[in-house]
Structure 1
Amino acid sequence: MNFKMPKDLKLAYQIELQKYKEFLAQNNDSMAWHHLERAHILGQYHPVSHTGVHFRMFVFGIRKLDGKEIYGQFVRMSFGWIGSLFNRIPVGNTGSASVPIFAPMPIPDDLKSLLWNADTEAKGLSGLKG
């Protein structure tokens, strides 16, 4: 079970959230969303950070009056933490309601060193190796 986020991963997650806030304050929604997706890629392995990023995506959907995103994030926020708790998540998934909820996706090159033990070979739900 994944309860405690390693320090380097936690720092990178917090940096992505800070960048999200900065771009949101500048009304640059596309870059704000980009950093929320990156925060999701990093945070989805741990229940609290995973739920937290989906909550932010949910609020973003409300702000944009995007019904698909609001509904999609409500579902993800409600159940995603369970997958994190048991290390069964779609590695690399950006968390957006515009992508399939269980689809693994490539990890961006600059995040690979932080997620060196992610099971990128799996075809379905996986998580961190060993």
Structure 2
Amino acid sequence: MNMRTGAQQYAKMNKQTGVEEANPHQLIGMLYQGALDSLQQSLGCIDRNDIEGRGKHVGRAITIIGGLQGFLDHEKGGELSQNLDRLYDYMTVRLFDAGRENSKIPVQEVIGLLREIKEGWDGIGDQAKEIFSQSGQSVPG
């Protein structure tokens, strides 16, 4: 899965986003937020015993996590990339557990993990802008 495919997946979730103008750093941030939004919605579905809704929202989050995993560059990312790959695998397993058990606990666990990763990702925004400006690419925002 390439970056454009992942961004299109997020856009299909009826979100008003600036996907067309976003740089790769911003696109990844949007994907993290999309996964978090879907998981929050799945918690409400679990509370209402809405099995179909839970499945839809958890499935969306799993798709986004798979897209994020597909973006990893193990050659350049080294140990960090390998660790994220394993963490994304773990998140996916936990989300399957949530569906099987109809439990909020695995969903809440994955939300916590994604929030932590997203905070770190958001924290490198200035560095990403600098990298893109040095490469001659236009960086919005």
Fold shared, TM-score > 0.5 on shorter chain: no
Query: TM-score scaled to structure 1, two decimals?
Result: 0.42
Which structure would you say has the larger Rg?
Answer: 2
Larger helix share, 1 or 2: 2
